[in-house]
Amino acid sequence: MKDIMISFPTKVMIGDGMLKNLGEQAGSLGKKAFVLYDPFLKGSATLQAILDDLKANGVSYTEFDDVVPNPRNTTIDRGAGICAQEKCDVVIGIGGGSAIDSAKAIALVMTNGGTCWEYTERQNEYVHRPEKPALPLIVIPTTAGTGTEATPCSVINNPSLKRKCTIINPAIYPTVSLIDPALMTSIPPLSTALTGIDTFAHAFEAYISKNSNDWTDTIALRSIELFARSIRAAVKDGSDIEARYDMALACMLGGWSIAQAGVTLPHALGQPLSAFTDAPHGGTLAACLVQIIEWTLPYGEEKFAKVAEIFDPSLVGKSKAEQAAALPGLLHKLYKDIGVDVSFGGYGLKEEEIPAFVDLAYTAFKQDIDGHPKPTSREDVEQLVHQCM
Ligand SMILES: [Fe+2]
Span from the CA of 161 to the centroid of ligand 1 (angstroms): 21
Report the pLDDT value the prediction gives residue 178, as an integer from 0 to 100. 97
Q: How far apart are CA 363 and CA 360, in angstroms?
A: 5
pLDDT digits (tens, 9 = 90+) for 285-328: 999 999 999 999 999 999 999 999 999 999 999 999 999 999 99
Span from the CA of 196 to the centroid of ligand 1 (angstroms): 10
* R_g of the chain computed on alpha carbons: 20
Report the pLDDT value the prediction gives residue 123, as an integer from 0 to 100. 79
Span from the CA of 78 to the centroid of ligand 1 (angstroms): 25
Give span(s): CATH 1.20.1090.10, the chain: 189-388
pLDDT confidence bin for 136, thresholds 50/70/90? very high
Span from the CA of 94 to the centroid of ligand 1 (angstroms): 18
In the chain, % of residues over pLDDT 70: 100
pLDDT confidence bin for 5, thresholds 50/70/90? confident
Report the pLDDT value the prediction gives residue 386, as an integer from 0 to 100. 97
Span from the CA of 105 to the centroid of ligand 1 (angstroms): 17
Helix (H, G, I), strand (E, B) or coil at 140: strand
Span from the CA of 249 to the centroid of ligand 1 (angstroms): 15
DSSP, res 125: S
Contact criterion met (CB below 8 Å) for 93 and 26:
no
| DSSP states of 260-296 | HH---HHHHHHHHHHHHH---HHHHHHHHHHHHHHHH
Span from the CA of 352 to the centroid of ligand 1 (angstroms): 26
State the virtual CA torsion across 365, 370, 372, 373 in degrees, nearest 10. 180
Q: Residue 9: is it exposed, middle or buried by C-beta count within 10 angstroms (0-12/13-18/19+)?
A: exposed
Closest Cα to residue 88, out of 66, 118, 111, 115?
Answer: 111
Report the pLDDT value the prediction gives residue 162, as an integer from 0 to 100. 84
pLDDT confidence bin for 7, thresholds 50/70/90? confident
pLDDT digits (tens, 9 = 90+) for 77-110: 999 999 999 999 999 999 999 999 999 999 999 9
pLDDT digits (tens, 9 = 90+) for 247-258: 999 999 999 999
Q: How far apart are CA 205 and CA 228, in angstroms?
A: 15
Q: How far apart are CA 26 and CA 31, in angstroms?
A: 8
Report the pLDDT value the prediction gives residue 352, as an integer from 0 to 100. 95
* 11-184 CATH fold: Rossmann fold (3.40.50)
Question: What are the backbone angles phi and psi of residue 178, rounded to the nearest 5°?
Answer: -100, 110
Span from the CA of 324 to the centroid of ligand 1 (angstroms): 23
- What b-and-e string marks burial along 70-81, b requiring 16 or more CB atoms within 10 Å of the CB? bbbbebbbebbe
Report the pLDDT value the prediction gives residue 151, as an integer from 0 to 100. 95
Closest Cα to residue 232, out of 250, 244, 248?
Answer: 244
- Is the pLDDT at 378 greater than 90, yes or no? yes
- Is the pLDDT at 69 greater than 90, yes or no? no
> Do you know the residue count of the chain?
389
HEC letters along 62-76: EEECCCCCCCEHHHH
pLDDT digits (tens, 9 = 90+) for 198-218: 999 999 999 999 999 999 999
Q: Alpha carbon of 370 to those of 196, 201, 356: distances in Å? A: 25, 17, 19
Report the pLDDT value the prediction gives residue 51, as an integer from 0 to 100. 98
Q: Does the domain formed by 189-388 have CATH 3.30.70.580?
A: no
Span from the CA of 176 to the centroid of ligand 1 (angstroms): 20
Span from the CA of 319 to the centroid of ligand 1 (angstroms): 31
Span from the CA of 23 to the centroid of ligand 1 (angstroms): 29
Report the pLDDT value the prediction gives residue 315, as an integer from 0 to 100. 97
Report the pLDDT value the prediction gives residue 364, as an integer from 0 to 100. 84
Give span(s): CATH 3.40.50.1970, the chain: 11-184
Span from the CA of 9 to the centroid of ligand 1 (angstroms): 21
pLDDT digits (tens, 9 = 90+) for 174-194: 999 999 999 999 999 999 999
Span from the CA of 199 to the centroid of ligand 1 (angstroms): 7
Report the pLDDT value the prediction gives residue 292, as an integer from 0 to 100. 98
Q: Name beta bridge partners: 63.
A: 35
Contact criterion met (CB below 8 Å) for 263 and 179:
no
Span from the CA of 28 to the centroid of ligand 1 (angstroms): 31
Helix ranges (H only) for the chain are 22-29, 45-56, 73-85, 97-112, 189-208, 214-236, 241-261, 265-277, 281-296, 301-311, 320-337, 354-364, 366-371, 378-388
